[in-house]
Structure 1
Amino acid sequence: MPMNSFHDGAMLFIYGDNKVESLGEAMEVFRSCSASLKYLEISDCDNLKSVVSGGLEHLSALEELKIVCCDNLNESEEVERVSFCQLTLLSLREMVEVPNWIQYLSALQTLHIDDCKKVESMPNWMSKLTSVRELAVGCCSAQLKERCQESTGEDWPNIQHIPDIGIS
């Protein structure tokens, strides 16, 4: 498609692309819609390893990022100049820990983690995310649920600053 067709797009879905390994491959598309794109969903991209390097920093208007069924994501990459406020991680069956790059999302207000059953704890850097107002964790491991119990859970000190917490 011509690059100017993305110029005013508010939503972009990347679905089922097994060739893409990094969002850096979509950098030109992101540059063309940097001021208008508010919602980005990446789903069923089996070879996707990186969502933050080489792409997201161009999306100055981005408000929400949703990542679904992308099991090969790098959990430890770093983020620079990314300021969206809502992140959803859904059905990341191979994810064993909350990705470290989330700690750099200073504008993040809502974090949803759903059907990521191998995640068993909340990292201690969660306490640095002072802008987060809502944490929703669903279909999680029994261990994560136990560790996040109010007052008694081992990870409670990492998330207790968040006003709205739902763990199921």
Structure 2
Amino acid sequence: MKMGAATTSTYFPLSQLQVLELEKINDFESLPVKGLRNLISLRQLDIRWCYGLGSLHWIGSLTSLQTLEIWGCPNLTSLPQEIRNLTSLKELRIYDCLLLRQRCERQIGEDWPIIANVPSVIMDWRNQQEVTISSESESVCEDEDLT
């Protein structure tokens, strides 16, 4: 399920939902956090370009979550302690979130102790093994960059 700004006021009792993309939601006050807490089957959560997102305090109840991707959320400056509850989390990807990236830096970041048990933590493009480019995407590279 993909949620954008137009769908944030809708209540969604989707306890069997496995993949959720939150994209370009700037007003997280209108997001049904209670509904998000009930997503007990959620395995993948992608949060992209949500400039108003300042906290993930609700994430601790997503105990089936295996992949968390956070992209372009500059106001998200730290991860909550509740992320330790996500014992199924296998992959954490953080892109274009400078302050969060610094706090999650391996061994030295303030948030590293709460994500150290996540098997795969990716915070830049250098470790990427897969890139998707579609006609709907903004241009991410020039031809000479592909060599």
TM-score by length of 1: 0.65
The superposition leaves residues 7-66 of structure 1 with CA deviations (integer Å, 9 ceiling, x where unpaired) of xxxxxxxxxxxxxxxxxxxxxxxxxxxxxxxxx011242x7257xxx4233x52x22100
Displacement after TM superposition at 1:82 (Å): 2.7
Judged with a 3 Å threshold, the aligned counterparts in structure 2 of structure 1 residues 157 and 76 are, in CA distance, closer, same or farther, namely farther
Paired position in structure 2 for 1:114: 71
**Moved >2 Å (runs of 4+):** 47-50, 74-78
Q: Is 1:48 matched up with 2:8?
A: yes
Q: Which runs of 5+ in 1 are unaligned?
A: 1-39
Alignment of 1:9-158 (within 5 A): 40-45=1-6, 48=8, 54-57=11-14, 59-60=15-16, 62-74=17-29, 77-78=33-34, 79-80=37-38, 82-97=40-55, 99-141=56-98, 143-158=99-114
Displacement after TM superposition at 1:126 (Å): 1.1
Identity of aligned residues (%): 26
For the aligned residues, what is the CA RMSD?
2.1
Displacement after TM superposition at 1:81 (Å): 5.3
Contact 2:43/2:64, CA 8 A, preserved across alignment:
yes
Q: Which runs of 5+ in 2 are unaligned?
A: 125-147
Paired with 2:122 and 2:63, the residues of 1 have a C-alpha distance of 21
SS in 2 for 1:158: helix
Counterpart of 2:73 in structure 1: which amino acid?
Answer: C
What is the number of equivalent residue pairs in this alignment? 121
The superposition leaves residues 91-117 of structure 1 with CA deviations (integer Å, 9 ceiling, x where unpaired) of 0011112x2221101110000000001
